[in-house]
Amino acid sequence: MAERASGDLVLTGVTRTYETFTAVDNIDLTIPQGSFFALLGPSGCGKTTTLRMVAGLEQPTAGTISIGGQDITATKPYQRNVNTVFQNYALFPHLDILENVAFGLKRRGVSNWRVQAMEALELVELAHVAKKKPTQLSGGMQQRVALARAVVNRPDVLLLDEPLGALDLKLRRQMQIELKRIQSEVGLTFVHVTHDQEEAMTMADTIAVMNGGRLQQVGDPGTLYEKPESTFAANFLGQSNLLRATVSGVSQGVASLDVHGVAMTVPAASLPDGGKELWLGIRPEKVRIISDSADATGLNTLKGEVTDVSFLGVATQYLVAMPWGRELTVVQQNDGMPRAQLGSNVTLGWVPENSFALDASQDADA
Protein backbone atom coordinates (compact mmCIF):
# COMPACT_ATOMS: atom_id res chain seq x y z
CA MET A 1 0.00 0.00 0.00
CA ALA A 2 1.36 3.44 -0.94
CA GLU A 3 2.67 5.79 1.73
CA ARG A 4 0.84 9.09 1.95
CA ALA A 5 1.87 12.27 3.72
CA SER A 6 -0.47 13.21 6.56
CA GLY A 7 -0.29 14.74 9.98
CA ASP A 8 -2.01 15.54 13.23
CA LEU A 9 -5.76 16.05 13.32
CA VAL A 10 -6.43 19.35 15.10
CA LEU A 11 -9.80 20.69 16.26
CA THR A 12 -9.78 24.32 17.37
CA GLY A 13 -12.78 25.82 19.15
CA VAL A 14 -15.11 23.40 17.39
CA THR A 15 -18.74 24.02 18.27
CA ARG A 16 -22.00 22.66 16.87
CA THR A 17 -25.34 24.09 17.87
CA TYR A 18 -28.81 23.00 16.77
CA GLU A 19 -31.11 26.02 17.17
CA THR A 20 -30.61 26.79 20.86
CA PHE A 21 -29.04 23.44 21.83
CA THR A 22 -25.23 23.11 21.92
CA ALA A 23 -24.28 19.51 21.06
CA VAL A 24 -20.51 20.18 20.90
CA ASP A 25 -19.14 23.07 22.91
CA ASN A 26 -15.85 24.74 21.99
CA ILE A 27 -13.62 21.68 21.67
CA ASP A 28 -9.84 21.97 21.32
CA LEU A 29 -8.12 18.68 20.53
CA THR A 30 -4.87 17.58 18.95
CA ILE A 31 -4.89 13.97 17.81
CA PRO A 32 -1.34 12.91 16.92
CA GLN A 33 -0.75 11.22 13.59
CA GLY A 34 -0.62 7.46 13.96
CA SER A 35 -2.27 7.35 17.37
CA PHE A 36 -5.25 5.31 18.55
CA PHE A 37 -7.51 7.95 20.03
CA ALA A 38 -10.83 7.29 21.80
CA LEU A 39 -13.69 9.75 22.28
CA LEU A 40 -15.45 8.42 25.36
CA GLY A 41 -18.64 9.60 26.99
CA PRO A 42 -22.26 8.77 27.78
CA SER A 43 -25.03 8.73 25.20
CA GLY A 44 -25.80 12.23 23.90
CA CYS A 45 -22.50 13.84 24.99
CA GLY A 46 -21.61 14.86 21.43
CA LYS A 47 -19.18 12.12 20.35
CA THR A 48 -20.88 11.24 17.07
CA THR A 49 -21.46 14.89 16.19
CA THR A 50 -17.71 15.51 16.69
CA LEU A 51 -16.86 12.55 14.47
CA ARG A 52 -19.34 13.64 11.80
CA MET A 53 -17.73 17.08 11.71
CA VAL A 54 -14.31 15.47 11.13
CA ALA A 55 -15.83 13.37 8.35
CA GLY A 56 -17.42 16.49 6.84
CA LEU A 57 -20.96 15.13 7.22
CA GLU A 58 -21.78 17.95 9.63
CA GLN A 59 -20.55 21.55 9.50
CA PRO A 60 -19.22 23.21 12.69
CA THR A 61 -21.13 26.31 13.79
CA ALA A 62 -17.76 27.71 14.91
CA GLY A 63 -14.14 26.60 14.94
CA THR A 64 -11.78 24.89 12.52
CA ILE A 65 -10.61 21.37 11.71
CA SER A 66 -7.25 20.66 10.11
CA ILE A 67 -5.16 17.64 9.16
CA GLY A 68 -1.41 18.06 8.80
CA GLY A 69 -1.80 21.82 9.01
CA GLN A 70 -4.31 21.99 6.16
CA ASP A 71 -7.68 23.51 7.05
CA ILE A 72 -10.41 21.09 5.94
CA THR A 73 -13.35 22.75 7.71
CA ALA A 74 -15.08 23.64 4.45
CA THR A 75 -13.83 20.66 2.41
CA LYS A 76 -16.49 18.30 1.03
CA PRO A 77 -16.58 14.83 2.70
CA TYR A 78 -15.45 12.99 -0.44
CA GLN A 79 -12.51 15.38 -0.85
CA ARG A 80 -11.22 14.66 2.67
CA ASN A 81 -8.86 11.76 3.09
CA VAL A 82 -10.98 10.45 5.95
CA ASN A 83 -12.84 7.13 6.11
CA THR A 84 -15.51 5.99 8.55
CA VAL A 85 -16.39 2.52 9.82
CA PHE A 86 -19.88 2.36 11.30
CA GLN A 87 -21.60 -0.14 13.55
CA ASN A 88 -23.64 -1.49 10.62
CA TYR A 89 -21.01 -2.73 8.22
CA ALA A 90 -22.88 -1.69 5.03
CA LEU A 91 -21.07 -4.18 2.77
CA PHE A 92 -22.38 -4.59 -0.77
CA PRO A 93 -24.34 -7.88 -0.68
CA HIS A 94 -23.97 -8.65 -4.40
CA LEU A 95 -20.15 -8.26 -4.42
CA ASP A 96 -17.76 -10.86 -3.05
CA ILE A 97 -15.46 -9.98 -0.15
CA LEU A 98 -12.43 -9.10 -2.31
CA GLU A 99 -14.54 -6.80 -4.51
CA ASN A 100 -16.05 -5.18 -1.42
CA VAL A 101 -12.59 -4.37 -0.10
CA ALA A 102 -11.36 -3.26 -3.55
CA PHE A 103 -14.37 -1.01 -4.23
CA GLY A 104 -12.70 2.33 -3.44
CA LEU A 105 -9.44 1.34 -5.14
CA LYS A 106 -11.21 0.36 -8.37
CA ARG A 107 -13.24 3.55 -8.37
CA ARG A 108 -10.00 5.55 -8.09
CA GLY A 109 -8.51 3.52 -10.95
CA VAL A 110 -5.75 1.93 -8.84
CA SER A 111 -4.23 -0.68 -11.17
CA ASN A 112 -2.96 -3.20 -8.61
CA TRP A 113 -6.23 -3.16 -6.66
CA ARG A 114 -6.28 -6.94 -6.40
CA VAL A 115 -2.89 -7.10 -4.63
CA GLN A 116 -3.74 -4.23 -2.28
CA ALA A 117 -7.18 -5.64 -1.42
CA MET A 118 -5.68 -9.08 -0.71
CA GLU A 119 -3.05 -7.45 1.55
CA ALA A 120 -5.82 -5.71 3.48
CA LEU A 121 -7.72 -8.99 3.81
CA GLU A 122 -4.56 -10.68 5.07
CA LEU A 123 -4.21 -7.91 7.64
CA VAL A 124 -7.62 -8.77 9.09
CA GLU A 125 -6.89 -12.51 8.64
CA LEU A 126 -9.68 -13.06 6.13
CA ALA A 127 -7.79 -13.78 2.89
CA HIS A 128 -9.35 -17.27 2.87
CA VAL A 129 -12.89 -15.87 2.42
CA ALA A 130 -12.04 -13.50 -0.48
CA LYS A 131 -14.47 -15.27 -2.83
CA LYS A 132 -17.40 -15.50 -0.40
CA LYS A 133 -20.38 -13.14 -0.22
CA PRO A 134 -20.98 -10.99 2.90
CA THR A 135 -24.05 -13.01 3.98
CA GLN A 136 -21.84 -16.11 4.26
CA LEU A 137 -19.75 -14.47 6.99
CA SER A 138 -20.42 -13.94 10.71
CA GLY A 139 -21.02 -10.45 12.10
CA GLY A 140 -17.48 -10.24 13.46
CA MET A 141 -16.00 -11.26 10.10
CA GLN A 142 -18.16 -8.73 8.26
CA GLN A 143 -16.92 -6.04 10.62
CA ARG A 144 -13.31 -7.00 9.84
CA VAL A 145 -14.09 -6.80 6.10
CA ALA A 146 -15.50 -3.30 6.66
CA LEU A 147 -12.28 -2.42 8.43
CA ALA A 148 -10.14 -3.83 5.60
CA ARG A 149 -12.23 -1.83 3.11
CA ALA A 150 -11.53 1.38 5.06
CA VAL A 151 -7.84 0.71 5.75
CA VAL A 152 -7.02 -0.18 2.14
CA ASN A 153 -7.61 3.45 1.12
CA ARG A 154 -4.85 4.59 3.52
CA PRO A 155 -6.91 7.49 4.93
CA ASP A 156 -5.15 10.20 6.94
CA VAL A 157 -7.72 9.48 9.64
CA LEU A 158 -9.94 6.46 10.15
CA LEU A 159 -13.08 7.20 12.14
CA LEU A 160 -14.73 4.33 14.00
CA ASP A 161 -18.24 5.04 15.31
CA GLU A 162 -19.08 2.35 17.90
CA PRO A 163 -17.88 -0.24 15.35
CA LEU A 164 -18.19 -3.13 17.80
CA GLY A 165 -21.60 -2.16 19.17
CA ALA A 166 -23.48 -4.91 17.33
CA LEU A 167 -21.20 -7.74 18.45
CA ASP A 168 -21.72 -9.98 21.47
CA LEU A 169 -19.49 -9.38 24.48
CA LYS A 170 -16.95 -12.14 23.83
CA LEU A 171 -16.49 -11.23 20.17
CA ARG A 172 -16.34 -7.58 21.13
CA ARG A 173 -13.45 -8.26 23.51
CA GLN A 174 -11.61 -10.25 20.80
CA MET A 175 -12.16 -7.50 18.24
CA GLN A 176 -10.83 -4.85 20.63
CA ILE A 177 -7.48 -6.65 20.75
CA GLU A 178 -7.65 -7.28 17.00
CA LEU A 179 -8.36 -3.62 16.21
CA LYS A 180 -5.44 -2.53 18.36
CA ARG A 181 -3.12 -4.93 16.53
CA ILE A 182 -4.35 -3.74 13.11
CA GLN A 183 -3.93 -0.09 14.06
CA SER A 184 -0.36 -0.62 15.21
CA GLU A 185 0.45 -2.60 12.04
CA VAL A 186 -0.94 -0.02 9.60
CA GLY A 187 0.11 3.02 11.69
CA LEU A 188 -2.90 5.11 10.62
CA THR A 189 -4.64 7.56 12.95
CA PHE A 190 -7.72 5.84 14.43
CA VAL A 191 -10.40 7.92 16.16
CA HIS A 192 -12.75 5.58 17.94
CA VAL A 193 -16.07 6.65 19.45
CA THR A 194 -17.42 4.60 22.34
CA HIS A 195 -19.47 4.90 25.53
CA ASP A 196 -17.70 1.81 26.94
CA GLN A 197 -14.87 2.87 29.25
CA GLU A 198 -13.34 -0.59 29.31
CA GLU A 199 -13.23 -0.62 25.52
CA ALA A 200 -11.56 2.81 25.41
CA MET A 201 -9.01 1.83 28.06
CA THR A 202 -8.21 -1.48 26.32
CA MET A 203 -7.52 0.04 22.93
CA ALA A 204 -6.60 3.70 23.01
CA ASP A 205 -3.23 5.42 23.51
CA THR A 206 -5.14 8.56 24.44
CA ILE A 207 -8.72 9.03 25.63
CA ALA A 208 -10.78 12.22 25.52
CA VAL A 209 -13.62 12.08 28.05
CA MET A 210 -16.67 14.09 26.96
CA ASN A 211 -19.77 15.13 28.85
CA GLY A 212 -22.54 17.53 27.88
CA GLY A 213 -20.76 18.55 24.67
CA ARG A 214 -17.57 19.48 26.51
CA LEU A 215 -14.18 17.88 26.92
CA GLN A 216 -13.68 16.85 30.52
CA GLN A 217 -10.15 15.46 30.36
CA VAL A 218 -7.67 14.15 27.81
CA GLY A 219 -4.93 11.71 28.72
CA ASP A 220 -3.54 8.21 28.56
CA PRO A 221 -5.71 5.51 30.17
CA GLY A 222 -3.44 5.13 33.23
CA THR A 223 -3.41 8.85 34.07
CA LEU A 224 -7.17 9.21 33.54
CA TYR A 225 -7.81 6.29 35.86
CA GLU A 226 -5.24 7.17 38.55
CA LYS A 227 -5.68 10.94 38.49
CA PRO A 228 -9.15 11.92 37.27
CA GLU A 229 -9.65 15.69 37.32
CA SER A 230 -13.41 15.75 37.76
CA THR A 231 -16.03 13.80 39.65
CA PHE A 232 -17.51 12.90 36.26
CA ALA A 233 -14.27 11.33 35.03
CA ALA A 234 -13.74 9.63 38.41
CA ASN A 235 -17.13 7.94 38.18
CA PHE A 236 -17.29 7.33 34.43
CA LEU A 237 -13.93 5.54 34.20
CA GLY A 238 -14.43 2.74 36.70
CA GLN A 239 -15.77 3.15 40.20
CA SER A 240 -14.61 5.70 42.77
CA ASN A 241 -15.30 6.24 46.45
CA LEU A 242 -15.69 9.98 46.98
CA LEU A 243 -15.42 11.31 50.54
CA ARG A 244 -16.10 14.88 51.63
CA ALA A 245 -12.93 16.32 53.14
CA THR A 246 -11.69 19.65 54.50
CA VAL A 247 -8.04 20.68 54.32
CA SER A 248 -6.90 21.47 57.88
CA GLY A 249 -3.27 22.30 57.06
CA VAL A 250 -0.35 21.77 54.70
CA SER A 251 3.17 21.02 55.87
CA GLN A 252 6.25 19.58 54.15
CA GLY A 253 4.39 18.47 51.05
CA VAL A 254 1.60 16.75 52.97
CA ALA A 255 -1.96 18.05 53.32
CA SER A 256 -3.84 17.14 56.50
CA LEU A 257 -7.53 16.46 55.97
CA ASP A 258 -10.61 16.11 58.10
CA VAL A 259 -12.93 13.42 56.71
CA HIS A 260 -16.11 13.28 58.79
CA GLY A 261 -14.02 13.87 61.95
CA VAL A 262 -11.26 11.40 60.97
CA ALA A 263 -7.73 12.75 60.35
CA MET A 264 -6.18 11.76 57.00
CA THR A 265 -3.47 12.93 54.63
CA VAL A 266 -3.00 13.36 50.90
CA PRO A 267 0.11 14.59 49.03
CA ALA A 268 -0.12 18.39 48.84
CA ALA A 269 0.80 18.20 45.15
CA SER A 270 -2.51 16.48 44.42
CA LEU A 271 -4.63 19.30 45.92
CA PRO A 272 -6.73 21.10 43.29
CA ASP A 273 -6.61 24.86 42.98
CA GLY A 274 -9.35 26.52 44.95
CA GLY A 275 -10.83 26.23 48.40
CA LYS A 276 -10.35 23.92 51.35
CA GLU A 277 -13.39 21.76 50.60
CA LEU A 278 -12.54 18.60 48.66
CA TRP A 279 -13.74 15.30 47.40
CA LEU A 280 -11.14 12.74 48.42
CA GLY A 281 -11.29 9.91 45.88
CA ILE A 282 -10.09 6.35 46.28
CA ARG A 283 -10.56 3.42 43.90
CA PRO A 284 -12.22 0.30 45.39
CA GLU A 285 -9.21 -1.92 44.62
CA LYS A 286 -6.86 0.50 46.38
CA VAL A 287 -8.69 0.05 49.70
CA ARG A 288 -7.54 -2.82 51.90
CA ILE A 289 -9.36 -4.58 54.68
CA ILE A 290 -6.91 -4.54 57.58
CA SER A 291 -7.05 -7.38 60.08
CA ASP A 292 -4.13 -6.30 62.29
CA SER A 293 -3.87 -2.67 63.45
CA ALA A 294 -0.05 -2.91 63.10
CA ASP A 295 -0.61 -3.09 59.32
CA ALA A 296 -2.23 0.35 59.37
CA THR A 297 0.99 2.34 59.83
CA GLY A 298 1.15 5.20 57.33
CA LEU A 299 -2.30 4.48 55.92
CA ASN A 300 -5.50 6.50 55.94
CA THR A 301 -7.99 4.37 57.87
CA LEU A 302 -11.74 4.23 58.42
CA LYS A 303 -13.90 1.82 60.41
CA GLY A 304 -17.21 0.42 59.22
CA GLU A 305 -19.58 -2.54 58.99
CA VAL A 306 -19.68 -4.95 56.04
CA THR A 307 -23.18 -4.75 54.54
CA ASP A 308 -22.66 -6.76 51.35
CA VAL A 309 -20.21 -9.36 50.04
CA SER A 310 -20.27 -10.17 46.30
CA PHE A 311 -18.06 -12.82 44.73
CA LEU A 312 -16.77 -11.51 41.37
CA GLY A 313 -14.53 -14.45 40.39
CA VAL A 314 -11.01 -13.02 40.46
CA ALA A 315 -11.99 -10.64 43.24
CA THR A 316 -14.57 -10.05 45.97
CA GLN A 317 -16.48 -6.79 46.34
CA TYR A 318 -17.49 -5.53 49.78
CA LEU A 319 -19.80 -2.68 50.69
CA VAL A 320 -18.79 -1.18 54.02
CA ALA A 321 -21.16 1.24 55.81
CA MET A 322 -19.55 4.30 57.32
CA PRO A 323 -20.82 5.94 60.53
CA TRP A 324 -22.10 8.92 58.48
CA GLY A 325 -24.40 6.69 56.44
CA ARG A 326 -22.54 6.29 53.11
CA GLU A 327 -21.01 3.02 51.93
CA LEU A 328 -17.49 2.51 50.67
CA THR A 329 -16.88 -0.06 47.94
CA VAL A 330 -13.85 -2.29 48.43
CA VAL A 331 -12.58 -4.81 45.87
CA GLN A 332 -10.00 -7.37 47.01
CA GLN A 333 -8.30 -9.96 44.84
CA ASN A 334 -9.18 -13.55 45.74
CA ASP A 335 -5.57 -14.51 46.32
CA GLY A 336 -5.94 -16.56 49.47
CA MET A 337 -6.26 -13.59 51.85
CA PRO A 338 -8.91 -14.01 54.57
CA ARG A 339 -12.26 -12.61 53.54
CA ALA A 340 -14.40 -10.37 55.73
CA GLN A 341 -17.79 -11.69 56.84
CA LEU A 342 -21.13 -10.02 56.20
CA GLY A 343 -22.07 -7.97 59.29
CA SER A 344 -18.52 -7.83 60.69
CA ASN A 345 -16.82 -4.61 61.78
CA VAL A 346 -13.67 -3.92 59.78
CA THR A 347 -10.91 -1.35 59.45
CA LEU A 348 -10.24 -0.10 55.93
CA GLY A 349 -6.95 1.48 54.91
CA TRP A 350 -5.19 2.93 51.91
CA VAL A 351 -1.89 4.51 51.00
CA PRO A 352 -2.40 8.32 50.84
CA GLU A 353 -0.55 8.49 47.48
CA ASN A 354 -3.18 6.16 45.99
CA SER A 355 -5.99 8.65 46.52
CA PHE A 356 -6.84 11.76 44.52
CA ALA A 357 -8.39 15.07 45.50
CA LEU A 358 -11.02 17.05 43.57
CA ASP A 359 -12.51 20.48 44.03
CA ALA A 360 -15.72 20.04 46.06
CA SER A 361 -17.50 22.81 44.19
CA GLN A 362 -18.14 20.04 41.61
CA ASP A 363 -21.15 17.83 42.00
CA ALA A 364 -20.26 14.39 43.41
CA ASP A 365 -22.14 12.86 40.46
CA ALA A 366 -22.41 9.68 42.53
How far apart are CB 72 and ligand ATP at their closest, in Å? 19
Task: Return d(Cα 356, Cα 240) in angstroms, integer.
Answer: 10
41 touching ligand ATP, by CB under 6 A: yes
Are 230 and 217 in contact, with CB atoms under 8 Å apart? yes
**Shortest reach from residue 9's CB to ligand ATP, in Å:** 17
Question: 57 burial class (0-12, 13-18, 19+ CB within 10 angstroms)?
Answer: middle
Q: Nearer Cβ to ligand ATP, position 30 or 87? A: 87
Q: Which of 8, 27, 35, 48 binds ligand ATP (CB under 6 A)?
A: 48
Which of 2, 3, 43, 341: binder of ligand ATP (CB under 6 A)?
A: 43
Nearest distance from C-beta of residue 297 to ligand ATP, angstroms: 46
CB of 161 to ligand ATP, least distance (A): 8
Q: Which is nearer to ligand ATP, 18 or 78 (CB)?
A: 18
Cα–Cα dist 81/48, whole Å: 18
Q: Does 18 bind ligand ATP (CB under 6 A)?
A: yes
Judged by CB under 6 A, the stretch of 37-45, 69-77, 87-95, 225-233 that binds ligand ATP is: 37-45
* 49 is a site residue for ligand ATP (CB under 6 A): yes
283 in contact with ligand ATP (CB under 6 A): no
46 in contact with ligand ATP (CB under 6 A): yes
Q: Which is nearer to ligand ATP, 53 or 306 (CB)?
A: 53
Q: Which of 40, 45, 233, 257 binds ligand ATP (CB under 6 A)?
A: 45
Of 47 and 192, the one with the shorter C-beta distance to ligand ATP is: 47
Instruction: For the segment 189-208, give every residue that binds ligand ATP (CB under 6 A).
Output: 195
Chain residues in the site for ligand ATP (CB under 6 A): 18, 21, 23, 41, 43-49, 195
